[in-house]
Amino acid sequence: MKIGFRKILAVVAAGMLLTGQSMAAESNECGKIRPGEIWKDVKGDTINAHGGCVIFADGKYYWYGEHRAAVRSLPQEGVTVYSSPDLTTWTYEGLALRATEEKGHDIERGCIIERPKVIYNAKTGKYVMWFHLELKGQGYGPARCAVAVSDTPAGPFTFVRSGRVNAGIMPDNLSKQEASGCADEKMEWWTPEWRAEIERGMFTMRDLNGGQMSRDMTLFVDDDAKGYHIYSSEDNLTLHIAELTDDYLGHTGKYVRIFPGGHNEAPALMKRGGRYWMITSGCTGWEPNEARLMTADRIMGEWKQLPNPCRGENADKTFLGQSNYIMKLPGEDRFIAMFDKWDPKSLMNSRYLWLPVDFDAEGVPYVSWKNEWSPRK
Ligand code: DGJ
Checking if the pLDDT of 2 tops 50, the result is no
In sequence order, the β-bridge partners of residue 97 are 79
Task: Give the tens place of pLDDT for each residue, 128-147.
Answer: 999 999 999 999 999 999 99
pLDDT at 29: 53
Q: How confident is the model at residue 9 (pLDDT cuts 50, 70, 90)?
A: very low
CB atoms within 10 A of CB 77: 18
In sequence order, the β-bridge partners of residue 30 are none
Query: Whose alpha carbon is nearest atom 7 of ligand 1?
Result: 216
CA dihedral 47, 51, 56, 61 (to 10 degrees): 10
- Nearest alpha-carbon partner for 60 in 127, 132, 131: 127
Q: With respect to residue 238, please indicate whether it lies within any of the assigned structural domains.
A: no
- The answer to whether the CB of 189 is under 6 A from ligand 1 is no
Best residue among 68, 217, 233, 286 to mutate for probing ligand 1's pocket (most ligand atoms within 8 Å of CB) is 286
Between 23 and 245, residue with greater pLDDT: 245
Residue 257 CA, ligand 1 centroid: distance in Å: 20
Q: With respect to residue 305, please indicate whether it lies within any of the assigned structural domains.
A: no
Q: With respect to residue 122, please indicate whether it lies within any of the assigned structural domains.
A: yes
Q: CATH code at 71? A: 2.115.10.20
Q: With respect to residue 226, please indicate whether it lies within any of the assigned structural domains.
A: no
Cα distance between residue 355 and residue 137, in whole Å: 36
CA-based R_g, the chain, Å: 22
Q: How confident is the model at residue 274 (pLDDT cuts 50, 70, 90)?
A: very high
Residue 282 CA, ligand 1 centroid: distance in Å: 10
Average pLDDT, integer, range 203-228: 97
- The answer to whether the CB of 288 is under 6 A from ligand 1 is no
Preceding amide of 290 cis, omega within 30: no
Q: With respect to residue 183, please indicate whether it lies within any of the assigned structural domains.
A: no
Task: Give the tens place of pLDDT for each residue, 64-81.
Answer: 999 999 887 789 999 999
DSSP string for 139-158: TT-S-EEEEEEESSTT-PPE
Q: How confident is the model at residue 83 (pLDDT cuts 50, 70, 90)?
A: very high
Checking if the pLDDT of 40 tops 80, the result is yes
- The answer to whether the CB of 309 is under 6 A from ligand 1 is no
Average pLDDT, integer, range 147-168: 98
Checking if the pLDDT of 116 tops 90, the result is yes
Contact 354, 372 (CB under 8 A): no
Q: With respect to residue 110, please indicate whether it lies within any of the assigned structural domains.
A: yes
- Nearest alpha-carbon partner for 45 in 104, 91, 113: 91
Cα distance between residue 341 and residue 320, in whole Å: 6
Check: pTM over 0.85? Answer yes or no: yes
In sequence order, the β-bridge partners of residue 227 are 221
Q: Which domain, by its residues, includes 122?
A: 22-163
Checking if the pLDDT of 108 tops 90, the result is yes
Checking if the pLDDT of 152 tops 90, the result is yes
- The answer to whether the CB of 66 is under 6 A from ligand 1 is no
What is the percentage of the chain residues whose pLDDT exceeds 70? 92
Checking if the pLDDT of 309 tops 60, the result is yes
Checking if the pLDDT of 148 tops 70, the result is yes
Q: How confident is the model at residue 28 (pLDDT cuts 50, 70, 90)?
A: low
Q: How confident is the model at residue 180 (pLDDT cuts 50, 70, 90)?
A: confident
Contact 270, 333 (CB under 8 A): no
Give me the chain's average pLDDT, please.
92
Q: With respect to residue 346, please indicate whether it lies within any of the assigned structural domains.
A: no
Average pLDDT, integer, range 28-50: 92
- The answer to whether the CB of 216 is under 6 A from ligand 1 is yes
Q: What is the position in ligand 1's atom list of the atom closest to the CA of 114?
A: 5
> For 349, which DSSP code?
G
Q: How confident is the model at residue 250 (pLDDT cuts 50, 70, 90)?
A: very high
CA dihedral 253, 256, 260, 264 (to 10 degrees): -90
Give the number of domains in the chain.
1
